[in-house]
Amino acid sequence: MIQLTNVTKRYLATKAIRQCTLSMDSGKVIGIIGENGSGKTTLLKLLSGLLKPSKGIVEIDNVVVDRRIANKLAFLTDSEYFFPYLSVMELIEFYNSQFDDFDKEKAVEMAKFMNLNVEQKIKYLSKGNKSRVKIVVTLSRNAPYVVLDEPFSGLDPMVRKAIINGIIKFINMPEQTLIITTHEIKEVEPILDEVVVLRKGKIIAHETVDNVREVNKMDVVDWMEQLYSKENMSVS
């Protein structure tokens, strides 16, 4: 279980996250959504131990998060961070040497599923295939928590579809919890159990996708837009 209690993250005079209190149960697929600058990436970095809160507490399974959380949390960032001179297979071997929970056999199977040539050097891969490689090495960890930050950024629809299919096939539910930020909400909505909506660093809603559809009679994008509209009206 993930628990944030009155968490604030400040960058100099700017509050990226503002007094957030949030509980997320294990074994779910949870979307963190919101406009640009709403604090999504900062929230994921707090969960992953890459940032410390300015105030408040972040806990996973009742343990305060620090960098050692990497032992049980696999984090995919939206930045490039691979050694370009490695081949895909060499990268898989490297991850296998670094993480006790890494499943090499699963990685090779996933690379094949993603139509990747494991002998090809990473520096020669297209942007879409580099994104597939990031997904492969992240999802091949049998970590109880998997966090994906904008895995579809800048990718064409066919690549996004392949990555979503890979997530569905290779995430082990309910043994793993998946938390994902994305602007491609309509495409990822079918795999989500819950959504957390951020606006200007604050959590303005946390709801199950089933309730969004059944109670509010709308999809997640329309629901988020309605929430933002209400927030704008309350400010004015």
The closest alpha carbon to 210, from 220, 225, 222, belongs to 220
Band the pLDDT of 235: cuts 50, 70, 90: low
pTM across the whole model: 0.90
DSSP state of 209: H
Sign of CA dihedral 141, 43, 9, 15: positive
**Helices and strands per DSSP (H, E), number in the chain:** 8, 10
- What is the C-alpha to C-alpha distance for residues 210 and 156, in angstroms, rounded to an integer? 28
Q: Tokens 């490695």 map to which residue?
A: 86
Examine the pLDDT at 234 and tell me if it is beyond 70.
no
DSSP state of 150: S
Write the CB contacts of 116 (distance below 8 Å, at least 6 apart in sequence): 88, 129, 132, 133, 136
Answer for the pair 198, 34: CB distance below 8 angstroms, yes or no: yes
Predicted confidence at residue 187, as pLDDT, reads 87
Q: Any idea what the CATH number is for the domain that residue 97 is in?
A: 3.40.50.300
Provide the 3-class DSSP secondary structure of residue 225: helix
Examine the pLDDT at 40 and tell me if it is beyond 90.
yes
198 is in which domain, residue-wise? 2-235
The closest alpha carbon to 171, from 16, 29, 32, belongs to 29
- The pLDDT tens digits for 44-86 are 999 999 999 999 999 999 999 998 998 999 999 877 667 888 9
Band the pLDDT of 217: cuts 50, 70, 90: confident
Instruction: Count the domains in the chain.
Output: 1
Band the pLDDT of 236: cuts 50, 70, 90: very low
